[in-house]
Amino acid sequence: MKRVISLILALIMALSLVACGEKAPVDNEGESKIKDRLVIANGNMLSILDTHNNNDLWCGHVYSLVHSALVDIDFQTNEMKPELATEWSYDAPTMTYTFKLRDDVTFHNGEKFTADDVIYTFNRGMGFSFKQTKLKYIESMEKVDDTTLKITLNSPAAEFLESLNDMWILNQKAIEADAEAGPMVGTGAYVFSMDNFKPDESVVVTRNENYWGELPKSKEIEYKKITEASARVIGLQTGEIDVCLEVPAIEASNIADYEGVELVQQPSSKLLYMAMNMGEKGPDFFKDERVRKALNYATNRDDIIIAMTEGYASPSQGCIAPSMFGHDPDVATYEYDLEKAKSLLKEAGYDENNKLRIEFIYKGGVMAGFYEILQAQWALANVDLVLVSDDSTKTVEITNSKAYHIYQTQWNWSTTCNGLDSLWNSTAGNNRTLTNNAELDAMLADVCSEMDEAKRAEKIGAIGDWLSDYAAMVPLYIDTLLTGVGSNVEGLTLNFNQNHVFTYAYVTE
Amino acid sequence: MHRYILKRIAMLLLVMLGVSLLIFFIMDLAPGDQALMILGEAATEEELNALREELGLFDPFFVRYGRYMWGFLQGDLGYSHKYLSDVLPLYLERLGATVVLALASALFAHILSIPMGIYAALHQGKVSDNIVSALAIVGLAAPNFWVGLLLIILFSLKLGMFHSGGFVTLSDVVLPAITVGTANMALLTRTTRSGMIDVLRSDYLMLARAKGVSEKMVVRKHALKNALIPIITVSGIQFSAMMGGAVTTEAVFSFPGIGTLLVGAIKSKDTVCVTGCLILTSLLVSVTLLAVDILYAYVDPRIKAQYSK
Amino acid sequence: MENTNVKTNTVSAQKKYKKRTPMGEVWHRLRKNKGAMVGGAFVLLLVFLALFRDVIYDYDTQIVMQDLSKRFIHPCLEHPFGTDNLGRDLFARVVYGTGSSLPVGVVAVMVALVLGLPLGAIAGFFGGKIDDVIMRIMDIFAAVPGILMAIAMVAVLGTGTIGLMISIGVTAVPAFARITRASVLSVRNQEFVEAARAIGCTNLDIIFKHVIPNCLSPIVVQVSLRIGNSIITASSMSYLGLGVTPPMPEWGNLLSAGRTYIKDYSYLTMFPGLVIMLTVIAFNLLGDGLRDAMDPKLKK
C-alpha cells in the first residue's frame, strides 16, 4: 500500500518537475563577468503585440528593444540621432524629406530591410487612431531606390522628424505570415519570440546576434510583471530584479537606505490628469463651463500630492508639463478654492440638496487609492463621485463606448506639439476629453506647422491659456520618477518621459 | 468494486458536462465584449462586428456552446485571446506549478499537523491540547495574503533566505507552500486529534493494552493506522481543492499557478480559456476525490466490503 | 414537535428538579464551555457594533473625513490602532467596518442556507431519482473551486456588497445541501416521521415541520463555522479588488489598502488582520461549543 502511494507521489513529482524544468536559469560562466540576463520588473508589462494599436508606455519599453525606427531622439540632450536612416534632408519649398537608409539591416525573420518596409509601416500606421496623429502629415511616399526614400508632407510639420522616433519599422511579410506576432518582428537589438512571452507574467527577449548596431552586452532581457509594489521592491533588494520601475513613493527611503541598490530620482514630464467627457455621449453637465471650472477649483492638488506621492511630485501648471518647450509659467491655473467651487456649482444648479453625481473610471495600478482622496475632496463641494471602474479591462470597454463621465489617466510628454495634438485633436486616439472643437483643431494645426521656434512657443502659450479657460481637464501633478536600480547595473539610460533605453544595460557579477 | 468505480466515472463525466455548461453560461451572462478585449479600446464598430462575426459571437448560446464542446471532445480546447496561446499547453504549463505547490503545501501541513494532532489526542483536555488547538485555529483564521506578505518580509527581505516571488527554482515554492499549508493545517490537526481519540478509546486497543502492548506501540502500530481514514479524506479534499490554484497566495507571490491564470481570464472575459481550464480542473478535482475513495477501500476492508455488495 | 414534547415531559417526570426545554438543555451545556462562551460574547459584541455603527460614529466626519496633518500616527491613546495614510482613525474604521464584514459573512451563509437546506432536505427525504438529480447538480457546483466560482459570479453580479454576498453564498450551497441530506437520511425512517405520515401530514409538512427541526444541530454548527470562512473569502475578494469598494471600510479592504505600507507602518495591516483572525476564531469556538452542546454523544 505504502509503495502505491509513494509511487503515485513520485510520479506526480516527476511530472511536475518536467513541467517546470525548462524554467531553470541559464548558467554560463564563459566570457566575462557580465550576467546573461537583465531583469526589469514593473507593475505592468507588454500587453499588446501590435505596435500601431496603442501608445502604451510599458509596451513601448519592449517595442524599443525589438524594433528600430528611422531616427532616434537622445532625450538626455534632445538631439536627433540616426537609426535606420543614416542621414536626412528637408526641402522646405516642396515640404519633402529625403531619407538615406541603411543597407546592412535584416529583420529578425531574415528579410532585408528596404524603403518598402518604411512605406508599408507608415501606410499601415495611418489606419490606427493612435498613430494617425503623427502620420497625418504625410502626403505621399516615394521609393527612389532600396535605400532612398522621399516623404512629401501636406503641410509643414514642426515635429515630424521627432515623432518618427517611435514609429517602429515593421515587415510586411512577417505580418502577413502571422497577424498576431508579426508586428513583433523587427530590426532591433533583441528578438521577440512567442515562446518567451507569457502575458500577465513576463517576456524575455534574446540578443539579436545579427544586429546592425553595436551588440548589447546582456544576452537576454526579461521584463517581468510584479503587481504587488512592495514585493517588487523586495525583489530588487534581494537581487532577483535589476531594475525596478514605478517604485511607490512610500518605498523610496527603503531603497535609498538599502545596500546594493540605488534610488534614481528624476523630474519627469508625466502629467497626471482627469479628463471630463466633452463628447456627444458624455454627460450634459460637463457642457456647462461653470461645472468644469468648479471641479478644477474643488481639487486640492497639494493634498493629493502628499497622499499619493509622499511629496515626490510637483503641482501641475496648466495642461502642459512645465518642463516642455513653449510652456508658459504664467499660464492661468486654478488654485484650490472650495467656496468658489461651491458657488459656481450652485449657479449651475447643484448644492447640498441636489448633489452632482459623477462617475469615475481609471485603469487601476499606480493610482489605486486616488479615487478615495478625490471623492472626499469633491464631496465638500457637493459632488458625489462614484467609482465605476478601477480595472483596466472594464475601463477599456467604457472608454471604447465613449460614454464615461470622468477618466483619470496620465500623459508622458515628449514633444509639445505632438503632445497637444495627441491629447486634444478631435481625431486623436488619446483624446480622453473627447473634445471636438473646430477652433482648437485649427489652433493645433497652426502650431504644429509653425516652423519658427519663437512663434511656436508663443502659439503654444496661447493654446495653454485657451485650455486652462476651457477647463475640460483637471491637471493634477507632475510625477517625480522613482526607479530602483541595482548597484551592479551599467549602461542604463533613464529618461524623463519614461521612454527608458534598456538596450545597452547589463549587470556585472 | 469495479462496478462502483465505473459508476463513479460515469457520474464524473456527467458532472464535467454540467460544469462546462454552467461556466459557459456564467461567462456568457457576465458583461464584457470579447471582441473589444481583443481589438483594444480604439476599435471601431465595423471592426468589432467583423471580429464578432468571425468568432461566431452572434450565434445563439447553445450553438456556441455546442461548437465549443464539439471541439473540446476532439481535443481542441480553443485559443485564449488573453494569453495568446492554445488553452491546453497553457493549462498544462500552469498545472505543473500548481501541482508542485499543492504537494509542497500538503507536505508542510502534514508534517506539522499529524504529530500535533497525535500529541493533542494523547494529552487530551490538558493545557498543551488547548494550545495545539488554538495554534491550528490561528492558522485557519489568518487571511492568506496577509500571512504571505509577512512571510516575504521575514524570510525574503530580513533573512534573505528565499526569493520574494515568481517560480524559477524549486525553493521558490517554499513560502507559498507555507502560506497555503498554514491555512490547511487547522482541519488536519483537528481531524487527526479526533480520529486518534476515537481509536484510542476503542475496545480493541483496550484489549491490546490489556495484553501488555506498550502505549508507544499502541499509538504507532494500531491507533495511527486506523485514524488514517478521516485524515485521508481531509487531505484528499484539500489537495483536490488546490488543483484550482491558490488565488490570493499566487497573487502575493506572483506564482504562475492556475488561480491567477483563471482570474485574469475571467476578468477579460476569455470564455474559451475559463471554460477549458475549469473543465480540466474539475476533472482533476473529481479524479483526486475518486482516487481518495478507492484508496479508502484499500486502507479499510470494511469500506471495500460495502462497495462490493 | 409533538414527539420532542413527549420526551421532555418524560424527562421532567423523572427528574423534577431539572426542568429544561431542549434549547435550555443546549444552553446549559454551552454555558459550561468557556471557549464557546468567549467566542459567543465576541460574536455578540460584533453584532452590536454592526447594528449600531452609525450611532457610534458619524460616517462623513469620523470615517471618511481625511486630515493629512494626522497621517501615519502610530497606535496611541487617542488613536488605539493608529491612523492611515489619509489621517483617518483606523480604530474607528475597523469598528465601522464590522458593519460591512459581518453582514457579508452572515448574509452569504444565509443565502447558502436558504438554497442548500431545502435542496438537501428534499434530496434526502425523497431519495431515488430526485436525490440523484439534486446531488449531481450540487456536485457540479462543488467541482468548481469556491473562490473562482465567486469571482466568476461577481463578474456577473457586479462588485459591491450584494454581489459579494450572493457570490460567496452560492459557493457554499453544496456543503449545506450535503450536510442537510446526510442528517435527513439519518432521521427520515424514525418513528416520528412515520407517525406524522400516519396522521396525514403532507410531505412538505413532514419535511419542514418534523424532519428539518430534528436535524438542525449539524446545520447550526456548519452555519457558525461557515460565517468565519465567508468573512475570509470576502477579504480575499477585497484583496483582489472585487470586494467592498473604498472608502467604505471593510476589514478585507482595510487590510488590502494597508499592504502598501506593510514595511514601515505594519500596524495598518496588523489590526485589521488580527480582527479578522479573532472573528474567525470566535465563530469557530462558538461552532465547536454548539456541536458539543447539541450532540452530547459527540462529547467525550
Our CA angle for C102, C103, C106, nearest 5°, is 85
User: Which A residues in the span 132-151 are in contact with B, Cβ-Cβ below 8 Å?
Assistant: none
Count the domains in chain C: 1
Q: Is residue C13 part of a domain?
A: no
Burial of A134 (0-12, 13-18, 19+ CB in 10 A): buried
For residues B221 and C285, what is the distance between their CA atoms, to the nearest angstrom?
33
* Domain A267-480: CATH architecture, name and number where available: Roll (3.10)
Q: How far is B230 from chain A (nearest CA, A)?
A: 17
Instruction: Determine the pLDDT at residue C93.
Output: 95
Q: Do C66 and A375 touch (CB under 8 A)?
A: no
Task: Give the best-scoring range by mean pLDDT among B282-291, C45-54, C180-189.
Answer: C45-54
Percent of chain B with pLDDT strictly greater than 70: 96
Q: Is there a single domain that holds both residue B103 and residue B181? A: yes
User: Does A230 reach chain C within 8 Å, measured CB to CB?
Assistant: yes
Q: Is residue B274 part of a domain?
A: no
Instruction: Determine the pLDDT at residue C14.
Output: 52
Is pLDDT at A262 greater than 60 in this prediction? Answer: yes
Picking from A102-106, A278-282, B167-171, which range would have the lowest pLDDT averaged per residue? B167-171
Contact C240, B251 (CB under 8 A): yes
Q: Is there a single domain that holds both residue B68 and residue B144? A: no
Considering CB atoms only, which of B16, B18, B247 is closest to C148? Answer: B247
Instruction: Determine the pLDDT at residue C295.
Output: 67
Is pLDDT at C227 greater than 80 in this prediction? Answer: yes
Is pLDDT at B24 greater than 60 in this prediction? Answer: yes
pLDDT in tens, B106-150: 999 999 999 999 899 888 888 888 888 888 888 888 888 889 988
Is pLDDT at C299 greater than 70 in this prediction? Answer: no
If you write DSSP's letter for every residue of A102-118 in order, what string do you get? Answer: PSS-B-TTSPBP-HHHH
Q: State mean pLDDT over A87-96.
A: 94
Instruction: Determine the pLDDT at residue C26.
Output: 82
* B contacts of C144 (beta carbons < 8 Å): 19, 22-23, 244, 278, 281-282
Q: What is the Cα Rg of chain C in Å?
A: 23
Contact A295, A372 (CB under 8 A): no
Q: Is there a single domain that holds both residue B98 and residue B178? A: yes
Q: Which residue of C has its CA nearest to B289?
A: C143
For residues C139 and C144, what is the distance between their CA atoms, to the nearest angstrom?
9
pLDDT in tens, C146-156: 888 898 888 88
Please indicate whether residue C79 or residue C2 has the higher confidence score (pLDDT): C79
Q: Do C280 and B281 touch (CB under 8 A)?
A: no
Q: Do C241 and A391 touch (CB under 8 A)?
A: yes
User: What is the CATH classification number for the domain harbouring B180?
Assistant: 1.10.3720.10
Where in chain A are all domains bearing CATH 3.90.76.10? 68-181
Q: Do C68 and A303 touch (CB under 8 A)?
A: yes
The CATH homologous superfamily for domain A190-260+487-507 is Periplasmic binding protein-like II (3.40.190.10)
Q: Which domain holds residue B27?
A: 12-74
CA torsion, ordered A346, A352, A354, A356, to nearest 10 deg: 70
For residues C282 and C224, what is the distance between their CA atoms, to the nearest angstrom?
9
Please indicate whether residue A224 or residue C8 has the higher confidence score (pLDDT): A224
CA-CA-CA-CA torsion sign (B193, B198, B202, B206): positive
pLDDT in tens, A8-49: 545 444 444 444 434 344 444 444 589 999 999 998 899 899
* B contacts of A258 (beta carbons < 8 Å): none
**A41 beta partners:** A224, A244
Q: Is residue B289 part of a domain?
A: no
pLDDT in tens, C273-297: 999 999 999 998 898 888 888 765 5
**A313 beta partners:** A479
Q: Is residue B20 part of a domain?
A: yes
Q: State mean pLDDT over A236-258.
A: 90
Picking from A68-82, A278-292, C21-35, which range would have the lowest pLDDT averaged per residue? C21-35
Q: State mean pLDDT over A354-369.
A: 86
User: Which B residues in the span 138-157 are in contact with A, Cβ-Cβ below 8 Å?
Assistant: 149, 152-153, 156-157
Q: Is residue C24 part of a domain?
A: no
Q: Is residue B284 part of a domain?
A: no
Q: Do A250 and C264 touch (CB under 8 A)?
A: yes
Instruction: Determine the pLDDT at residue A14.
Output: 45
Residue from A226, A232, A236 nearest A258 by CA:
A236
Count the domains in chain B: 2
Is pLDDT at A256 greater than 70 in this prediction? Answer: yes
pLDDT in tens, A376-387: 999 999 999 998
Considering CB atoms only, which of A24, A199, A400 is closest to B84? Answer: A199
Q: State mean pLDDT over A93-114.
A: 95
Run of H or E including A146 = none
Our CA angle for A409, A415, A420, nearest 5°, is 55
Pick the CATH number of A68-181 from 3.40.50.720, 3.30.530.20, 3.30.420.40, 3.90.76.10: 3.90.76.10
Please indicate whether residue B156 or residue C96 has the higher confidence score (pLDDT): C96
Q: Is residue C36 part of a domain?
A: yes
Instruction: Determine the pLDDT at residue B208.
Output: 79
User: What is the CATH classification number for the domain harbouring C37?
Assistant: 1.10.3720.10
pLDDT, averaged across chain C: 85
Q: Which residue of C has its CA nearest to B242?
A: C145
User: Which B residues in the span 130-149 are in contact with C, Cβ-Cβ below 8 Å?
Assistant: 137-138, 140-146, 149
Q: Is residue C25 part of a domain?
A: no
Among residues B49, B74, B99, the one where a domain terminates is B74
User: Which A residues in the span 31-50 are in contact with B, Cβ-Cβ below 8 Å?
Assistant: 48-49
Q: Is there a single domain that holds both residue B124 and residue B222? A: yes
If you write DSSP's letter for every residue of A49-106 in order, what string do you get? Answer: --GGG---HHHHHHHHHH---SEEEETTTTEEEESSEEEEEEETTTTEEEEEEPSS-B
Q: Do B15 and C240 touch (CB under 8 A)?
A: no
Instruction: Determine the pLDDT at residue A460.
Output: 95
Would you state the cell numbers that stand for residue C124, as one nine-digit string?
434526502
Is pLDDT at A404 greater than 60 in this prediction? Answer: yes
**C77 secondary structure, DSSP code:** S
Size of chain A in residues? 509
* A contacts of C66 (beta carbons < 8 Å): 303, 307, 373, 376
Q: Which domain holds residue C240?
A: 30-66+77-298
User: Does B10 reach chain C within 8 Å, measured CB to CB?
Assistant: no
Q: Is residue C169 part of a domain?
A: yes
Instruction: Determine the pLDDT at residue A15.
Output: 43
Residue from A61, A48, A66, A49 nearest A108 by CA:
A66
Q: Do B168 and A15 touch (CB under 8 A)?
A: no
Q: Is there a single domain that holds both residue B63 and residue B98? A: no
Instruction: Determine the pLDDT at residue B306.
Output: 63
- Quick check: helix, strand or coil at residue A456? helix
For residues B72 and B67, what is the distance between their CA atoms, to the nearest angstrom?
9
Q: Which site among B37, B164, B226, B273 would you substitute to test the A interface, given the most A Cβ atoms closer than 10 Å to its Cβ?
A: B164
Where in chain A are all domains bearing CATH 3.40.190.10? 190-260+487-507
Residue from A188, A152, A220, A147 nearest A51 by CA:
A188
Instruction: Determine the pLDDT at residue B304.
Output: 64
Q: State mean pLDDT over C92-109.
A: 94
pLDDT in tens, B193-232: 888 888 887 777 778 778 877 777 777 777 777 778 788 8
pLDDT in tens, B231-272: 888 888 888 888 887 888 998 888 889 998 998 888 888 889
Instruction: Determine the pLDDT at residue B226.
Output: 76
Is pLDDT at C257 greater than 50 in this prediction? Answer: yes
Q: Do C144 and B259 touch (CB under 8 A)?
A: no
CA distances from A29 to A32, A33, A509, C201 (A): 8, 8, 11, 85
**C74 secondary structure, DSSP code:** P
For residues A366 and A364, what is the distance between their CA atoms, to the nearest angstrom?
7
Q: Is there a single domain that holds both residue B167 and residue B212? A: yes
Run of H or E including A41 = strand A37-42
Contact A506, A342 (CB under 8 A): no
| pLDDT band of A392, cuts 50, 70, 90 | confident
For residues C258 and C252, what is the distance between their CA atoms, to the nearest angstrom?
10
| pLDDT band of B289, cuts 50, 70, 90 | confident
pLDDT, averaged across chain A: 90
User: Does C255 reach chain B within 8 Å, measured CB to CB?
Assistant: yes
For residues B61 and B22, what is the distance between their CA atoms, to the nearest angstrom?
12
User: Does B89 reach chain A within 8 Å, measured CB to CB?
Assistant: no
Q: pTM of the full predicted structure?
A: 0.84
Is pLDDT at C206 greater than 70 in this prediction? Answer: yes
Instruction: Determine the pLDDT at residue C8.
Output: 46
Instruction: Determine the pLDDT at residue C17.
Output: 56
User: Does A140 reach chain C within 8 Å, measured CB to CB?
Assistant: no
Contact B18, C137 (CB under 8 A): yes
Strands A243-244 and A37-42: parallel
For residues A59 and C55, what is the distance between their CA atoms, to the nearest angstrom?
51
Q: State mean pLDDT over C10-22.
A: 58
Contact C231, C279 (CB under 8 A): yes
ipTM of the complex: 0.84
Q: Is there a single domain that holds both residue B112 and residue B244? A: yes
CA-CA-CA-CA torsion sign (A496, A500, A506, A507): positive
Contact A437, A426 (CB under 8 A): yes
Considering CB atoms only, which of C139, C263, C273 is closest to B142? Answer: C273
* C contacts of B142 (beta carbons < 8 Å): 273, 276-277
Q: Is there a single domain that holds both residue B63 and residue B109? A: no
Where in chain A are all domains bearing CATH 3.10.105.10? 267-480
Instruction: Determine the pLDDT at residue A377.
Output: 94
Is pLDDT at A236 greater than 70 in this prediction? Answer: yes
pLDDT in tens, A191-205: 999 999 988 889 999
Which residues neighbour A304 within 8 Å (Cβ) at sequence distance 6 or greater? A370, A373, A374, A377, A476, A477
Instruction: Determine the pLDDT at residue A216.
Output: 95
For residues A67 and A64, what is the distance between their CA atoms, to the nearest angstrom?
5
Q: Is there a single domain that holds both residue B115 and residue B68? A: no
Q: Is residue C200 part of a domain?
A: yes
Q: Residue A285 — φ and ψ, nearest 5°?
A: -65, -25
Q: State mean pLDDT over A491-503.
A: 92
